[in-house]
Structures are given as structure tokens and as C-alpha cells.
């Protein structure tokens, strides 16, 4: 799908040729003389429409516009959140076969974040999964023109939004694929495909290399599976070589049966989504490839299946992690922290500016925060604040959770340096405390996305979260770094700009 940014007021929007003209009408709207705003004004006067969020009026062959369909959308205060909600109400129309070209116009000037939210919402509303369907009806929408009053003012947020769409859709695609279509080897191939784009490199470590690194915790999870593990290492190099990288670590359990501590059968299919942390890292790299910002990012993905088997790790087994710390595996279903802890130890070699892991880690986090906000943990206040704000701006929300040392008490073991589970109480927090034992003094954050990475029920599917939050955080870091460089005249020049890859997807 292609997005275009165009200067349009309602008067100009009326003569746009397309299958659907969506008109965002905000609370400050006052009817003018042009036919479209006259139409909106009349509808409001008659009580058939209002600018309230959620209000929709569909018009067909209306003389006020060239477009066959005109939909007036109440857009409330015109904020990013309101625009997103208004556009999402078009979902059933945009998922259908009729609308190939759409134009979105607005009665008021939209802010940069609102334009980015608009682009995200059009993509989200029109997304269809097709990969494993035999008679797939792909997304019909091929082009969306975003009409704004001032193109120059919102250009950068528009470009960021378009790049983010590519990233979110990459994450959704890999999240949605069934486990037999998204094995650790296939995930590694997906990562390698990203390395075809400028500034991205990918290295895939197999079982022998992982054994050599001493990743005993990661290997213990993988040992019950026929599918071989993969440790995926991605690099995006957009800044000077010596500029410290942000390191992202994504949990890549391509299927979580629970292992010998096996899960109940109901809804176990949803454990194909247990690699959504990994998918979010891939999605961020896809977005970076599209936008080519000036910063360095490393992505690490420990990928394997968690299976019950004659060779599988057993409750009570003690393994030695890459850090040298020993772990008593009391519950083989607490496998995410086992694959992550070795990846976190590996990450230290990059001396990260920030180390952020993303994981569908605990059912307890779903109980605590539901599907609205991801759980955020951090050992630095500034990092927590930056991530929280990135979530607010991108409408990909998170909420900070505590890391008091007392929460680690339950992890004590009589037979190893630690157990891999504490009691049921505070399960998301004790999982985070386990991870913290492997990051030392590095500025670190952990996002528990168990409640936000996918939806169950009739709308079952991956959400692509938290690619938006992470990408926003990275862009903010890049902007801050650019400011620092501008302050220091003696600083080394950053890498030469590379021609942007096509934003079309």
C-alpha cells in the first residue's frame, strides 16, 4: 500500500477522484461555502451528524464531491488518539474489496502525531492476513492520500508513520504465522531478508555456536525440540561507529507448549504468538531500513520451540547460564526468562546505551494490565520515562511496574544460584527480577507484552505492538544525539546519508 501526503482543504478534497473520501470533522468545525463543508454543516444542523468521536455519516453519490463514497467522521478534538479512533471505525469498509483508493481530508489542521496516527490507523483498519489461506483476498486498498493544510509542517511525522507501518506489518505478519510456518530457522531467514537493505547486517548463530558461547539456559529450553534453535543477531548502523547502540532483545519462542510442565489444551494455539517480542525486533529493523535514521541499533533474538520430549529439560534440572550463574528449572513453562537471560549476557559486549528486552513473558502481566498497556520495568528512571513518553506519543501505551529487591526473595533455590520461578503472587514482577540478575549495571528496561502483543477471540491476531513505542523511542534518541553532535564542533561526522528505500509496501 502507498501513502501520499498532499495539500488539501475541504474545498480541494471535493474534487479528488477516489473510491472513498473520508472527512474528519473536528469540534471546532464551522461550515464554509464549499460544498463539502456545506454538506457537513447541514448534516450537523439536522442532527444527523456531529463532530463527536464515534459519529459516522455515509453518503453515496453526493453532489458535494467527485468521490463515489463520502464518509463524514466525527473526530472530536482532532488529537492523535481521536483521529486514530475515527479512522478505525472504517475498518469493515477498508477490509472489503471495494475501496482501492482513498483520500482522507480534515476540517482542521492536524498535528504531526495526528498525521502519523492517521497513517497507522488506515493501515491497521485495512490489514488482512493471507499467508496460509488458499483463496486469499489480499488487501484491496492500494493508495491512501493524506490531505493536510501544511505539508512541510507534518512531513517528517508522515515519513516516520509510513516507515512504521512497514515495521508494524512485518511484525504482525511474523506474529500471525502458525508455528509450522514460523520456525526458528524461518525467523532467521526473515531476519536475513532484512539485511538486503542498506545499513543492516545479520548474523545467525546455530546450536554449535550457542553451545560454544555457553548459553546453557537457552539450550535447556531448546533441547526438547526437533527444530534446531537459532540465535539471531541484527545490526543497524546509521551513526558513527563509536556511537553506543541501543540493544533490543526479543523473546523468540516460536511455540510454547510449556514443555514437561505442559500447558492445558484450551487456547494453546495462541502460544504461536510467543515470539511476538522477536517479531517486534524484526519490525523495528524493517522500519529503520525504511527511514534510515542516524543511530546504531543491535537486535538479538533467541529463537526456539518449548516442547515436551524424552530429551526435554525436567523440573528440578540445574543448568549453567552464560553468565556462570546456575538456575534450577522448577517450571519448564517459565522458559522465556531462560532464553532471554543468556541473550542479555551476550548483549553486554556491545556496551549498550540502553538494553531493552521485549517478551510475552507472563500470564500474570495479562491479569495486571490487560490488553491496554504493556508492563514496563527499568533500572533507570530516565529510561523508564523516555519509554513511557514514547508510548504516549505513539499511542502504544505502557505502564511502569516496581522492581523492589524484596520481590526476588521467592527466586531462592536450595540447589542452584536461583530458581526460575517464585510463587504465583506478583508473577510479572518476579519474572522481571529474574532477568535483572543478568544485566548488572547496564541501563536496562523490560517490556512484558503478554497482554498487548496479540488479541484473542473473534479478532484473534497479532497487533504489531510495541513496534510503535520502540521506534518512537529510537527516533527520539536519534534526535537527541543529533543535537549533541551539533553542539560539539569537534565531533566526528556521522555516517553519510544513504538514499531512502521506497516507503511503499
Binding interface with Zn ion (CB under 5 A): 253, 256, 274, 336
Nearer to ligand BES, 340 or 393 (CB): 340
Q: Does the annotation mark 263 as catalytic?
A: yes
Smaller CB distance to ligand BES: residue 264 or 497? 264
**Which residue, 307 or 475, has its beta carbon nearer to ligand BES?**
307
Residue sitting closest to Mn ion (CB): 333
* Backbone phi and psi for residue 155, each to the nearest 5 degrees, phi listed first: -55, -45
Beta strands in 239-389 (DSSP E): 246-250, 252-256, 296-306, 317-320, 326-329, 354-359, 374-378
Selected catalytic residue, list 203, 263, 460, 494: 263
| Nearest residue (CB) to ligand BES, 16 versus 274 | 274
Residue 363 binding partner per list ligand BES, Zn ion, Mn ion, none, with a CB distance cut-off of 5 to 8 Å that depends on partner kind: ligand BES
- Cell digits for 445? 528496561
Q: Give the integer Cα–Cα distance in Å for 210 and 430.
A: 27
Quick one: what does residue 331 bind among ligand BES, Zn ion, Mn ion, none, with the CB cut-off 5 to 8 Å set by partner type?
ligand BES
Least Å distance between CB 334 and ligand BES?
Answer: 4
Q: Is the backbone of residue 426 left (phi > 0), alpha (psi -120 to 50) or beta?
A: left
Q: Which is nearer to Zn ion, 29 or 434 (CB)?
A: 434
Minimum gap (Å) between residue 14 Cβ and ligand BES: 48
Q: How far apart are CA 174 and CA 169, in angstroms?
A: 9
Is the distance from CB of 272 to CB of 182 less than 8 angstroms?
A: yes
Smallest gap from Cβ 377 to ligand BES, in A, equals: 15
Grid cell at residue 362: 507472563
319's grid cell: 543448568
Across-strand partners of 57?
72
Q: How far is the CB of 211 from ligand BES (least distance, A)?
A: 23
Give the 3-state secondary structure of 51-63.
CCCCCEEEEECCC
Stretch that binds Mn ion, among 34-42, 335-343, 461-469, 492-500 (CB under 5 A): 335-343
DSSP string, 176-209: HS-GGGS-HHHHHHHHHHHTTSTTEEEEEE-HHH
Q: Tell me the number of residues near Mn ion by CB under 5 A.
A: 3
CB nearer to Zn ion: pick between 183 and 292? 183
Residues of the shown chain interacting with ligand BES in the complex, contacts defined by CB under 6 A: 256, 274, 331, 333-336, 360-364, 366, 421, 427, 450
**256 in contact with Mn ion (CB under 5 A):** yes
Q: How far is the CB of 214 from ligand BES (least distance, A)?
A: 23
Annotated catalytic residue, options 55, 69, 272, 337: 337
What secondary structure does DSSP assign to 222-259, as a single string? HTT-SSPPEEEEEEEE-S-TTSPPEEEEE-EEEEE--T
The closest of 434, 406, 425, 408 to 367, measured between CA atoms, is 425
Q: Which backbone phi and psi does 471 adopt, to 5 degrees?
A: -65, -40
Task: Let me know if 424 is a catalytic residue.
Answer: no
Instruction: Give contact residues for Mn ion (rule: CB under 5 A).
Output: 256, 333, 335
- Residues classed as catalytic: 263, 337
Amino acid at each position: 500500500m502507498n501513502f501520499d501526503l498532499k495539500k488539501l482543504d475541504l474545498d480541494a478534497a471535493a474534487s479528488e477522484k477516489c473510491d472513498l473520501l473520508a472527512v474528519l470533522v473536528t469540534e471546532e468545525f464551522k461550515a464554509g461555502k464549499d460544498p463539502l463543508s456545506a454538506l457537513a454543516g447541514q448534516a450537523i444542523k439536522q442532527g444527523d451528524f456531529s463532530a463527536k468521536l464515534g459519529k459516522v455519516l455515509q453518503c453515496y453519490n453526493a453532489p458535494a464531491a467527485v468521490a463515489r463514497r463520502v464518509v463524514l467522521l466525527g473526530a472530536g478534538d482532532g488529537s492523535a488518539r481521536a483521529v486514530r479512533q475515527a479512522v478505525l471505525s472504517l475498518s469493515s469498509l477498508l477490509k472489503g474489496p471495494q475501496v482501492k483508493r482513498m483520500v482522507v481530508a480534515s476540517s482542521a489542521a492536524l498535528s504531526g502525531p495526528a498525521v502519523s496516527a492517521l497513517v497507522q490507523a488506515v493501515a491497521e483498519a485495512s490489514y488482512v492476513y493471507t499467508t496460509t489461506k488458499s483463496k486469499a483476498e489480499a488487501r484491496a486498498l492500494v493508495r491512501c492520500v493524506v490531505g493536510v493544510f501544511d505539508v512541510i509542517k507534518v512531513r517528517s511525522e508522515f515519513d516516520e508513520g509510513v516507515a512504521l507501518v512497514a515495521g508494524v506489518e512485518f511484525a504482525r505478519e511474523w506474529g500471525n504465522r502458525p508455528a509450522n510456518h514460523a520456525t526458528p530457522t524461518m525467523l532467521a531467514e526473515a531476519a536475513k531478508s532484512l539485511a538486503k537493505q542498506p545499513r543492516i547486517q545479520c548474523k545467525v548463530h546455530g546450536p554449535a555456536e550457542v553451545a560454544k558461547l555457553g548459553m546453557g539456559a537457552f539450550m535447556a529450553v531448546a533441547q526438547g525440540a526437533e527444530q534446531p534453535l537459532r540465535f539471531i543477531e541484527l545490526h543497524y548502523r546509521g551513526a558513527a561507529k563509536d556511537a553506543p547502540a541501543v540493544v533490543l532483545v526479543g523473546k523468540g519462542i516460536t511455540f510454547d507448549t510449556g514443555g514437561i510442565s505442559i500447558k492445558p489444551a484450551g487456547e494453546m494455539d495462541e502460544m504461536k504468538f510467543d515470539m511476538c517480542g522477536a517479531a517486534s525486533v524484526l519490525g523495528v529493523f524493517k522500519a529503520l531500513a525504511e527511514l534510515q535514521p542516524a543511530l546504531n541499533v543491535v537486535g538479538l533474538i533467541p529463537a526456539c520451540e518449548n516442547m515436551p520430549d524424552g530429551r526435554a529439560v525436567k523440573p528440578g534440572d540445574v543448568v549453567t547460564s552464560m553468565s556462570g550463574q546456575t538456575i534450577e528449572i522448577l517450571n519448564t513453562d517459565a522458559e522465556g526468562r531462560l532464553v532471554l537471560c543468556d541473550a542479555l549476557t551476550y548483549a553486554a559486549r556491545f556496551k549498550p546505551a540502553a538494553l531493552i528486552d521485549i517478551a510475552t513473558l507472563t500470564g500474570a502481566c495479562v491479569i495486571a494490565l490487560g490488553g491496554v498497556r504493556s508492563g514496563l520495568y527499568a533500572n533507570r528512571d530516565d529510561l523508564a520515562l523516555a519509554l513511557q513518553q514514547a508510548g504516549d506519543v505513539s499511542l502504544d501505551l505502557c505502564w511502569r511496574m516496581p522492581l523492589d529487591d524484596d520481590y526476588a526473595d521467592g527466586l531462592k533455590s536450595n540447589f542452584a544460584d536461583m530458581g526460575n520461578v517464585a510463587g504465583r503472587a506478583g508473577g510479572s514482577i518476579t519474572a522481571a527480577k529474574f532477568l535483572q540478575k543478568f544485566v548488572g549495571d547496564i541501563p536496562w528496561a523490560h517490556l512484558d507484552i503478554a497482554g498487548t502483543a496479540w488479541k484473542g477471540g473473534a479478532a484473534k491476531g497479532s497487533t504489531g505492538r510495541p513496534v510503535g513505542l520502540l521506534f518512537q523511542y529510537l527516533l527520539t534518541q536519534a534526535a537527541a544525539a543529533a543535537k549533541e553532535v551539533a553542539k560539539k564542533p569537534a565531533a566526528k561526522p556521522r555516517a553519510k546519508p544513504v538514499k531512502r528505500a521506497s516507503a511503499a509496501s
